[in-house]
Amino acid sequence: MKKLRLSFVCLLIAFTPLTAIAQDHSVYFCGERIPVERSFVADKLMNIIRKQVPLVNLPALRKRAQLYFPIAEKYLRLFGIPEDLKYLPIVESGFMATVRSAAGAHGFWQIMPATARQYGMVMNEVIDEREDINKASEVGCKLLKFHYDFYKKRYGVASWTLSAAAYNNGIGNIDKAIRKQGTDYFSMQLNPETAAYVYKIIAVKELFEYPEIYMKSFGYNVFSTTAPKKIKKGGDENDEAFRQIDLQVSSQENKSLEEKPKPPRYVVAHISGSHKKFKDGDLIKIVVDQDMTTNLGYSRKGYTFSVPGWIIDDRVFMDLGYGHSLTLFDTDLKKGIALEDLKKKNVNVMLKNTGYQEEE
């Protein structure tokens, strides 16, 4: 089992196509499973994740995200929109109020002037409500919901992916693409920016929510505010770095993927020993305190394995080697473990498992 898990991790490190391991490494966006078993989708997603690392690594961006995520989440819930779309303003503006595009889009959610007027936003020489995080979030969510309802009614497809693509390229342009190419965003031939747009949102989500999977692929802790920044691209954060685009455009047969994430099962475990001098990349021994079935097989109570840990905002995150299907939480079900708690001896943890086999 250890050899199999090591092979899985090495595949991720090498950034080889995910086709062979798609079953073990599911990626979801707004409840929709991303078809990473298509090699061009996996390759493109990993390529864009690489490009997003320098942006997500900005300490200032992370601070703004912590400040503005709760506001974005509030409006997303109000309009019944999946929380994953809170990452859209990061792609649009890096959560900066004063960013303005060449086309005239402005503010946190990069709202165009005509759209702002349509939704009653005030814009004059004194005030521009697109710079108000609450008003901009409300209008951004109304626009996303309008796109979603439009495509659901016209084509019978419930897709926040198409809604997000329309946010970038306009509802009419995506409508034309649907009529010619079908409703699968990942097989559409679109302009380069729109073809990369949803991938960017997914990439930012992955780096915020599953950093432990990607960290060692870059050879250092890309999220540490004290770690040396070995990647330096795109100038400072005010220079349109948030609008880098991937020029790769691909097409593939339209496939229907209706699979939904499994409800998690939690397994009791503990971290063996104490780690008073822990630093990035050090190995941590985990002991499983219950029998456990995962996508890589069966492990009995007492099974131990060692994994690297990485410090992010005073918490330690660990890549367990199972992709997204097995993640480590503390006993309060908060992902990772506090650095101070890691220094204690034999601290208890919970393993969130979605890689089990359904019983027939």
Average pLDDT, the chain: 81
The residue to which tokens 């747009």 are assigned: 197
Residues 6+ apart with CB under 8 A from 260: 31, 33
The whole-number pLDDT of residue 38 equals 85
Res 238: pLDDT: 35
What was the pLDDT predicted at 321?
A: 80
38-42, 233-237, 329-333 — most confident range:
329-333
pLDDT of res. 25: 57
Tokens 């409508």, residue? 175
Q: How confident is the model at residue 244 (pLDDT cuts 50, 70, 90)?
A: very low
Using CA atoms, how far apart are residues 117 and 27, in angstroms rounded to an integer? 37
Q: Token pair of 45, please?
A: 């997603």
From residue 137, alpha-carbon distances to 76, 81, 155, 165 in Å are: 8, 12, 27, 17
For the four alpha carbons of 268, 276, 316 and 357, in that order, the dihedral sign comes to negative
At 324, list the tokens.
């997204």
Domains and CATH numbers, the chain: 2-243 (1.10.530.10), 265-353 (no CATH)
Per-residue pLDDT tens digits for 275-317: 888 887 789 999 999 998 887 788 899 999 998 887 776 788 8
pLDDT in tens, 89-111: 999 999 999 999 999 999 999 99
Contact 36, 351 (CB under 8 A): no
User: pLDDT at position 54, please?
Assistant: 79
Q: What pLDDT does 322 receive?
A: 81
11-15, 335-339, 345-349: range with lowest mean pLDDT: 11-15
Q: Could you give the percent of the chain with pLDDT greater than 90?
A: 52
- What per-residue confidence (pLDDT) applies to 210? 85
Cα(332)–Cα(266) distance, integer angstroms: 12
Task: Check pLDDT > 80 for residue 177.
Answer: yes
Give Rg (Cα) of the chain: 21
Q: Are 344 and 283 in contact (CB under 8 A)?
A: no
Q: Residue 296 in contact with residue 319, Cβ under 8 Å?
A: no
In this structure, of 14-18, 66-70, 100-104, 325-329, the range with the lowest mean pLDDT score is 14-18
Residues in the chain: 360
Dist CA 346 CA 342 (whole Å)? 9
pLDDT band per the 50, 70, 90 thresholds, residue 319 = confident
